[in-house]
Structure 1
Amino acid sequence: MATNDNISEYLIAPRPSRTGLTRGVTGTDQNGDKIDLNVVEERPLTIYLNAQEIVTAMTIGDYPEYLALGFLRNQGMLDDSETVTRVDYDDELSVVVVRTKSKTTFEDKLQKKTRTSGCAVGTVFGDMMDGLDQVKLPDVRTRTSDLYTLAAKINRTPSLYLQAGAIHGTVLCQGDRPLVYMEDVGRHNAVDKIAGWMFSQKVSADDKILYTTGRLTSEMVIKTALMGIPVLASRSGFTAWGVEIAQQVGLTLIGRMKGQRFVCLSGEERLLRDADPQSVPDEPRKSGRKGHK
């Protein structure tokens, strides 16, 4: 059951009751009975870098400035040396403009687009692997007790997912504390919002954990690595390319994290198993998944 007990730990927590994030609709259930429910709103947001239009993303509409900054940061269009002078958001036009001190031109990069496996049609410009060979993630140990604690806290946090579903959540964590919880229709958007917050607040990634409700795909692994975060965990499963890239860059990758159980496919040597799984409340296994231990 969701509670408000741990909301005070967050620097940014979900706001499921915020106006405009959901819309009430009426339908019928399997018996033909009337049913009222809330569904997630999605709307276009066009991102500009100075005078250049970059992309139009489908999003729930919260934290547009962080989404724009994070998208540009994760696309390699903003780096730590760049000075952002202003970020202007026009709610009526659904446009956000990121302005920088120096001139920027990315015509060549914009010519090459890669559709990713992210929900809501994620898009990556240029070479997805750009910069990965230069990534040096910190060699940090991760306590399994922290992972169990984080999963329990995050799963109890009131969220748009619990209220309406059809959405992904991504949480920036430190030790056993969840710091920033972002949600969106696409997990890539939720990650970009985290990246934008970190960029604007100049937050170090060295001792952070990224927790996501979505699949551990190549895109998720690449974005996490390029953000400099050494640990990525999820309730969901993996893709083979995601695992391969995590092993290549030295990212600790943990999936299928439910109750007592999880699977580590990269970074086992960096796990500090300081918690007895039997002391953790378990979740019932789904039928047809008996082969997964």
Structure 2
Amino acid sequence: MPADFIIAPDLGNSRLTRAVDGFDHTGAKVPLNVVEERPLTIYLNSQEIVTAMTIGDYPEYLALGFLRNQGMLPDDVVVTSVDFDEEVETVVVRTNQTTTYEKKLKKKTRTSGCAVGTVFGDMMEGLEGVNLPAADVKTSWLYSLAHKINTVPSLYLDAGAIHGTVLCHQDRPLVYMEDVGRHNAVDKVAGWMLSEHTAAADKILYTTGRLTSEMVIKTAMMGIPVLVSRSGFTAWGVEIARQVGLTLIGRMRGQRFICLSGEERLIRDADISAVRQEPKAAGRKGAAK
């Protein structure tokens, strides 16, 4: 595992990919690793909440993070156990009291399609009164993080068709989670933070996915004040980021990035001429996202 990371992508986990043979445009046979997808059903006590398509690693973190980011685990609710049954691909999260969500939710299914992640109205309600800490961000941290994250061995580089989310502190990447949906990846990070009682006010969240409204909401619900991405923005994502005081930085590639929220918190201390340009292919061996 890379020295900076507490959790990094595990390319040695054979359950996450499958080797298949294909044929390229010339008719030549090409071996390729493709990412696995598995259904994971999440229960809150006795209520089935959702079935998510996921690569199958860290199911307990995914379940905890999903419930927390959807506002289903309020601060006054204590998680008493998290149990994963590999045979039936189910996680049961038990709490010390019944929550209101168990009575009003019906079964919903999240697919791996990036545009159709499940969004409950309670997420928006949960943003009421959220005002994130005004954390300064050094551009030298951002460039250092981008280089470390984009060059560490990962499923993203090996197989493609996957998103990564990384919890960072200043210029150090801490926890790197991957999944077929960017929402799953960020939920795994949220679950790890909840399990480890990790503070959020001094953290940065880096993602390979688009900065949509749901990604912004999840980051705000986690209490993280800075969200950074290689990809672009949606208008609603920007609007919500400005509403809650989230520093939002996108299109970060090589020397370039764009900040659409929280620009006043950026400390431009980096010598841009010394920043490495990003290779166009970036080592990708698999299919494009």
- Measured against aligned partners, the alpha-carbon deviations of 1:117-171 in whole angstroms (never above 9, x if no partner) come to 9628311223441121211211110000000000000011110111111000000
Q: Displaced runs of 4+ in structure 1, greater than 4 A?
A: 111-118
Alignment of 1:65-76 (within 5 A): 65-76=60-71
Three-state SS of the structure 1 residue aligned to 2:148 is: helix
Amino acid at match of 1:57: A
Q: Which residue of 1 aligns with 2:202?
A: 207
Q: Which residue of 1 aligns with 2:175?
A: 180
C-alpha distance 115-35 of structure 1, shift in aligned 2 (>3 A)? closer
Q: Which residue of 2 aligns with 1:62?
A: 57
Q: Which residue of 2 aligns with 1:257?
A: 252
Is the 8 Å Cα contact of residues 51 and 109 (structure 2) preserved in structure 1? Answer: no
Is the 8 Å Cα contact of residues 205 and 219 (structure 2) preserved in structure 1? Answer: yes
- Measured against aligned partners, the alpha-carbon deviations of 1:44-95 in whole angstroms (never above 9, x if no partner) come to 0000011111000000000000000000001111123321111110101000
Three-state SS of the structure 2 residue aligned to 1:124 is: coil
TM-score, normalised relative to structure 1: 0.91
Confirm or deny that 1:150 pairs with 2:145. Answer: yes
Q: 5+ residue gaps in structure 2? A: 282-289
How far, CA to CA, are the matches of 1:71 and 1:32 in structure 2? Answer: 43
Is the 8 Å Cα contact of residues 215 and 237 (structure 1) preserved in structure 2? Answer: yes
Q: Which residue of 2 aligns with 1:197?
A: 192
Q: Which residue of 2 aligns with 1:224?
A: 219
How far, CA to CA, are the matches of 2:223 and 2:249 in structure 1? Answer: 17
Q: Which residue of 2 aligns with 1:289?
A: none
C-alpha distance 39-113 of structure 1, shift in aligned 2 (>3 A)? closer
C-alpha distance 187-105 of structure 1, shift in aligned 2 (>3 A)? same
Is the 8 Å Cα contact of residues 22 and 41 (structure 1) preserved in structure 2? Answer: yes
Is the 8 Å Cα contact of residues 248 and 260 (structure 2) preserved in structure 1? Answer: yes
C-alpha distance 159-66 of structure 1, shift in aligned 2 (>3 A)? same
Match of 2:125 among 111, 126, 130: 130
Amino acid at match of 2:124: M
Q: Which residue of 1 aligns with 2:287?
A: none
Report the CA distance between 1:109 and its aligned residue. Answer: 4.2
Is the 8 Å Cα contact of residues 132 and 222 (structure 1) preserved in structure 2? Answer: yes
Identity of aligned residues (%): 74
How far, CA to CA, are the matches of 1:206 and 1:188 in structure 2? Answer: 21
How far, CA to CA, are the matches of 1:278 and 1:176 in structure 2? Answer: 19
Q: Which residue of 2 aligns with 1:103?
A: 98
Amino acid at match of 1:228: G
C-alpha distance 118-203 of structure 1, shift in aligned 2 (>3 A)? farther
Q: Which residue of 1 aligns with 2:84?
A: 89
Report the CA distance between 1:28 and its aligned residue. Answer: 0.6
TM-score, normalised relative to structure 2: 0.92
Q: Which residue of 2 aligns with 1:41?
A: 36
Confirm or deny that 1:159 pairs with 2:154. Answer: yes
Amino acid at match of 2:30: I
Of 120-129 and 47-56, the range deviating more from structure 2: 120-129
CA-based RMSD of the aligned residues comes to: 2.0
Q: Which residue of 1 aligns with 2:273?
A: 278
Match of 1:248 among 228, 243, 258: 243
